[in-house]
Amino acid sequence: MFLERFLAHDADRPALRDTDGRWLSYGELRRRGEQVAASLHNQGIRPGDIVAIHLENGMDLIDAHLGCMALGAVRLPLNAHYREAELAPIVSDAAPALVYTATPERFAGLRCSPVQAEPGLAQPQLWPAHTLTALLYTSGTTGRPKGVPQTFAMWESNLDALAAVWALSDADCLWLALPLFHTHGLVLGLHGTFLRGSRAILAERFEPIVPEAGITHLYGVPTWYRRWLPLMQAHPAAFQALSLMVSGSDGLDAATSDAVYAATGHRILERYGMTETVMICSNPGAGERRAGTVGQPLPGVEVRITDGEIQVRGRSVFSGYRGAPPGHGFTADGWFQTGDSGMWEPATTADPRSAPYLKIIGRTKELIIVGGVNVSPAEVESIYADIPGIREVGACGVADADLSEVVGLAVVTTPDANAAEVRAAIAERGARLSGLKRPRWVIFVASLPRNALGKLQRGALRPLFTPSHSPEAPS
């Protein structure tokens, strides 16, 4: 199982370079995890208890994850940029026993406590593979985040499938700047490294860099590759030396894919996954990588398209949302409903064994994806809806050349509203949201587009954000 494989790696084998440039071995990581596990145990945390981790990428975050793994506590990764308004529904639902955070003031009004680590030693616990190891929250169109239970069995089966399709090995070295509160960074990046016994170079955050010698893999989102492109064109040899560049969390435009290929000779590998399913499909590590598609289903994963919606089942698919009725989000015959729409691109060869590639053509869930981060429009609307002078608000994604999308907010005011006061209140409310959720565009309209039943039509809302309106930068 996962933890046994992590513990079996040679103790002297390099595992992780921290943000200060120091390499730690697998043995050092295990010792650090055992110390945190002892500290948690001394504070009354027991296997199965939920521990929230609200930290930026760094060794404090890594240590917290390792300590929870060693003790058998359930990890609750939280976006370190979240403010109290964003944290409140998650903390209320998950009820963590403790929180690791560098900003305890954001939890002042919430029922949880920050952790001060204590020294000590404890032995790792080898819990069954299907035991809950993490609880990740995902955005939804209702505005309330939904808890997605995660097990090592989900992760292990999926990561092994990826290792086969991408030809991964323990010789890999990943530059890991992806945020570790998200499936992409936490599961594929950090735990993929731990499972294989390979190496990772941890970065606090993304900045476009020229890869140093020894780095073999880059995982990123489309925005990153657009920002990397000038460096690729200026320093092609450094990028040509890589084995793999992977893009996910949002659709990669063909122009960027082609430009990267022209500069480096590498076709970016696109894949498709969700918190609820881990990875679903991928282009191959060796073989045709078709730009604009997410490839073929991974081993152990089945995909079908029903009434235009992509539906999934397999070993890496979760069992159901925390607190939801059994079967919620699934079809009657047990397929998870992704809410994404797609189509199969036919095979390009006459070989009957050649399978079609999946193409994502839309999001029926209406999520806004800002630089690879999911943003719920309903959550944004809830922050602004009760401002005096506002009758109603509607949020949607607005196309952006850098981030793919940014948040747009359309506002309908009451007849007696003071425009200056409304604008000031909108700016003040923006401080309650993390940066990517703050509306980049704020427009004032006479009414919002709704259907006969009164439902907001976000597809009809997007065209209202035109160059005739000036975008307003988030505060």
Please state the three-class secondary structure of 306-374 as a single string.
ECCEEEEEECCCCCCCCCCCCCCCECCCCCEEEEEEEEEECCCCCCCCCCCEEEEEEECCCCEEECCEE
Query: What gap in Å lies between CA 401 and CA 383, rounded to an integer?
Result: 26
pLDDT in tens, 416-425: 999 899 999 9
Helix (H) or strand (E) holding 236: helix 236-240
454: left (phi over 0), alpha (psi -120 to 50) or beta: left
Helix (H) or strand (E) holding 257: helix 254-264
Provide the CA 234 distance to its chain's centre, in angstroms.
30
Pairing assessment for the beta strands 14-17 and 23-25 based on DSSP bridges? antiparallel
Query: What gap in Å lies between CA 280 and CA 297, rounded to an integer?
Result: 6
The dihedrals phi and psi of 405, each to the nearest 5 degrees, come to -140, 155
Tell me the average pLDDT of the chain. 89
Contact 396, 441 (CB under 8 A): no
Judge whether residue 270 has pLDDT over 60.
Answer: yes
pLDDT in tens, 236-258: 999 999 999 999 988 888 889 99
| pLDDT at 456 (0 to 100) | 78
- Residues 367-382 have a mean pLDDT of 86
Q: Where are the domains of the chain?
A: 2-363, 368-464
| pLDDT at 303 (0 to 100) | 98
Judge whether residue 2 has pLDDT over 90.
Answer: no
Judge whether residue 230 has pLDDT over 90.
Answer: yes
- Residues 350-365 have a mean pLDDT of 74
**Band of the pLDDT at 197, cuts 50, 70, 90?**
very high
Q: Which of 132-146, 371-385, 433-447, 461-475 has the lowest mean pLDDT?
A: 461-475
Residue ranges of alpha helices (H) inside 9-151 are 26-42, 59-71, 84-94
Residues in the chain: 475
pLDDT in tens, 119-141: 444 455 565 667 899 999 987 55
**Band of the pLDDT at 224, cuts 50, 70, 90?**
very high
| pLDDT at 196 (0 to 100) | 97
- CATH of the domain spanning 2-363: 3.40.50.12780
- Residues 41-54 have a mean pLDDT of 94
% of the chain exceeding 70 in pLDDT: 90
| pLDDT at 388 (0 to 100) | 94
DSSP per-residue codes, 116-150: -------PPP---TTSEEEEEEE--TTSS-EEEEE
Q: Which of 37-46, 140-149, 160-169, 426-435 has the lowest mean pLDDT?
A: 140-149
Tell me: domain 368-464, CATH 3.30.300.30, correct? yes
Query: What gap in Å lies between CA 177 and CA 164, rounded to an integer?
Result: 23
| pLDDT at 142 (0 to 100) | 55
Pairing assessment for the beta strands 14-17 and 173-176 based on DSSP bridges? unpaired
User: Which has more pLDDT, 84 or 170?
Assistant: 170
pLDDT in tens, 169-193: 999 999 999 999 999 999 999 999 9
